[in-house]
Amino acid sequence: MRLRHLTRRLAVVVLACALWGCHRERHEVHYIGRDNPDLEYYKHVATQIDQPCLCTDTPEEVQFTEPPRRIRDRRKDEIWDMPLVEALHTAMANSQIIRERGQFLSPTNRLLTSPNGNPSIYDPAIQESGVLFGVRGVEAALADFDTLFTTSTIWGRDEQVSNNPAAFGGIAAGATRVAETAAFNARLEKVFATGALLAVNHNWDYQLSNNPGQLFPSSYTGSLGVEYRHPLWSGAGVDYTRIAGPARLNQNLRGVTGVSQGVVIARINNDITLADFEAAVRNLLKDAEDLYWELALAYRVYDSEIVARNSALRTWREVKARADAGAEGGSGAEEAQARDNYYETRARAENALTDLFTREGELRRLLGLPVNDGRVIRPIDEPMQGEFLPDWHMSLVEALTQRVELRRQKWNIKSFELQVLAARNLTNPRLDFVSSYNVNGFGDDLIHYNDNDGSTLQGFRSAYGTLTQGDQTGWSLGFEFSMPIGFRAANTQVRNLELQLAKARAILAAQELEVSHELAHAFRELDRFYQTAITNFNRRRAAVRRVEAYEAEFEAGRTNIDLVLRSQISLAQAEVAYFQSLMEYNKAIAALHYRKGTLLEHNQVYLAEGEWTPDAYNDAMQRARARAYALPADYCLHTEPPEFATQHIGVGGMAMPGLEEVPVDSELSPVPDAERSYSPVPPAPADTPAMDAQ
């Protein structure tokens, strides 16, 4: 009866909560056809595009930016003298979402069309905290081994008419049989690294009935037990579990089990994401440095075009003065030619200024700066003019060991190797050791201080009293065996992973060949722009002497204005060509470091994790102290399970000249001395005068 009253009260409370939860604020309803016969709502409202209801703050860099710089809107802005180091630092500080130079003004700009695929500083943390299949992080993979607690309590009542024409056992004919039930179950289970499962179960079943022939009208029956299951063949062992995760938890349709949900694979996925992030940062630095030198070149070109424009203007004025005076060298044709040359150089100067503003805007975008903050960026670092002498063999070794693309692909290969190992484990039959032990309990009441029930000698008044006495026990022990005939799915999975592994290794070989060709191209470009810089420097010196000579002859009246104008144009072109080859030479140096994979190190940029929780540092210190007092065991120095990551960098069995006799314990500088040395003045060719150090 007590259970009946409790059940009815609980039903009333649940019904009241349901009615309250279904309550909604009433809104006035307008019927379109009655209130608006012309259906204006559909014409002007329902057909419009909806906007998301969001409250977001637009960055101040966008809200308060000034108009962009244009050649028709000239004003004097503050000069921001920016060194290259500051430009790179600003780019990294303002790039939570990493921009790419090639995306700008592109109709398929990934930052605008598919921003979720754009690299960002959040990507490693997103991968670390991933929980979905295929993108799980380490924490999600470790969660398979967390202790799981489940519990349930269910009440029930059943009333049925007795289909009996006569009284039986004290129940009248056609009487109603009543049964009230309650079930409580609690389970605590833990999966171990070996794949074993340990569970503790506790349950109670309550039953109250007016059926005759029972010892007690109401009774509690329950047990407290322990289960242990251990895989012995398929899906067994730490090696398998750390790669694929617990086989029992990752089993899908008809026993097909994935092998990429373990802690090790999740850790490798994190390393792959870090490699992608490092590549994005490297590309950002490369683009920023290229734009820095291109902006410096734009300043040089603009300065050269301004000098050419002023020279053309001065020449035109001189010819115009001679034409007005009727002197020699002031004919109408010569005056018109001088005027045409002036406007040509003026147009080139205007184009050069526009190009300067464009490069400055592109650099601002890449650095995460507003369109215009009242300052104009001006590079102040002088381009390198000395000869850069890298060693081919050392550069090739660095490229094969430092390129982040190769490291990423090696992580893929390692992941497939481990998955093949786990998949081969699943080609064995499933054999599990199973066991259980439980203590049973029975009683009229769940808890009572006295066991005397007035009916039996043992006394079943208290169910927990019977349980704690431990007189009624049960156990089971045995093995479970299962296997699909033929192992078609398991063998197909192994074959598929072996093919993916073969493809990954072929991709790595192709990538290494590609890296060697890229490095060779960088070497050729380095020599090309250094040599053209020397040639264009000498060309500029010759153009200066040519202008001086023709201007002197024109003043003396020994030549016409055409040769003077041609010499001035040639000087402007020589100036631009020299500075262009010089800036391209500096970009070629950055490209060489890019192809070698040492661009971050060259710019002194290092990637590091954020701080962990204090408990992690305490655990690491305790383990370090434990290892400090360990005893050497030379007879068993091996790693179990085998390691999958190392701090040592290898080239993969490739013998490089000059590296065979290097001792293993010797320290090698990542950049040879020959590569670090720069000659202050480039050596001049034999048939040309030496290039000045200016």
pLDDT digits (tens, 9 = 90+) for 373-400: 889 999 999 999 999 999 999 999 999 9
Helix orientation angle between 488-556 and 404-425, rounded to the nearest 10 degrees:
170
pLDDT at 318 (0 to 100): 84
84-98, 244-258, 338-352, 517-531: lowest mean pLDDT where? 244-258
For the segment 165-181, the average pLDDT, to the nearest whole number, is: 67
Q: Which two tokens stand for residue 596?
A: 């070698």
User: What domains sit in the chain, N to C, each tagged with a CATH number?
Assistant: 80-136+262-429+504-630 (1.20.1600.10), 137-163+173-261+430-482 (no CATH)
pLDDT at 669 (0 to 100): 32
Contacts of 17 (CB under 8 A, 6+ apart): none
Q: Is 599 helix (H, G, I), strand (E, B) or coil?
A: helix
pLDDT at 679 (0 to 100): 35
Of the chain, the percentage scoring pLDDT greater than 90 comes to 44
Radius of gyration, alpha carbons of the chain:
42
Q: Is the pLDDT of residue 440 over 70?
A: yes
Q: Which two tokens stand for residue 56?
A: 């977001």
pLDDT in tens, 196-244: 999 999 999 998 887 766 778 888 999 999 999 999 999 899 999 999 9
Question: Which amino acid, 418?
Answer: L
For the segment 471-500, the average pLDDT, to the nearest whole number, is: 93
Question: Which amino acid, 332?
Answer: G
Contacts of 447-453 with CB under 8 Å at 24 or more apart are 453/216
Q: Which two tokens stand for residue 624?
A: 């370090």
Confidence of residue 476 (pLDDT cuts 50, 70, 90): very high
Question: What DSSP element (H or E) covers 524?
Answer: helix 488-556
pLDDT at 624 (0 to 100): 83
CA distance 100 to 107: 14
Q: Answer yes or no: are the C-beta atoms of 278 and 411 closer than 8 Å.
A: no
Q: Which two tokens stand for residue 516?
A: 């060697």
CA distance 74 to 86: 27
Angle, CA 401 vertex, CA 395 and CA 404 arms, to 5°: 110
Q: Answer yes or no: are the C-beta atoms of 247 and 482 closer than 8 Å.
A: no
What is the CB neighbour count within 10 angstroms for residue 411?
22
Q: Is the pLDDT of residue 361 over 60?
A: yes
CA distance 81 to 96: 25
For the segment 70-98, the average pLDDT, to the nearest whole number, is: 89
CA distance 239 to 194: 8
pLDDT in tens, 571-615: 888 999 999 999 999 999 999 999 999 999 999 988 877 777 788
Task: Please report which residue ranges of 368-487 form alpha helices under DSSP H.
Answer: 392-402, 404-425, 463-469
pLDDT in tens, 25-58: 455 555 555 555 556 666 666 667 777 888 778 8
Q: Answer yes or no: are the C-beta atoms of 316 and 339 closer than 8 Å.
A: yes
pLDDT in tens, 491-510: 999 999 999 999 999 999 99
Going by C-alpha positions, the residue among 441, 448, 446 that lies closest to residue 467 is: 441
Around 105, how many Cα atoms within 13 Å sit in the side-chain half-sphere?
4
For the segment 266-273, the average pLDDT, to the nearest whole number, is: 93
What is the CB neighbour count within 10 angstroms for residue 409?
21
Q: Is 401 helix (H, G, I), strand (E, B) or coil?
A: helix
Pairing of strands 375-379, 78-82: parallel
For the segment 520-549, the average pLDDT, to the nearest whole number, is: 93
35-44, 126-135, 515-524: lowest mean pLDDT where? 35-44
Of the chain, the percentage scoring pLDDT greater than 70 comes to 80
The full length of the chain comes to 694
Q: Which comes out higher in pLDDT, residue 548 or 448?
A: 548
pLDDT in tens, 636-669: 666 666 777 776 666 554 444 443 333 333 333 3
Mean pLDDT score of the chain, rounded to an integer? 82
Q: Is the pLDDT of residue 463 over 60?
A: yes
Question: Which amino acid, 348?
Answer: R
CA distance 573 to 298: 14
Q: Is the pLDDT of residue 434 over 60?
A: yes
Q: Which two tokens stand for residue 317?
A: 């004025």
Q: Percent helix, strand and coil across the chain, each rounded to 5?
A: 50, 15, 35
Pairing of strands 148-161, 387-388: unpaired
Question: What DSSP element (H or E) covers 379?
Answer: strand 375-379
Q: Is the dihedral of CA 618, 621, 627, 628 positive or negative?
A: negative
pLDDT in tens, 1-23: 444 554 555 554 554 544 444 44
CA distance 558 to 566: 16
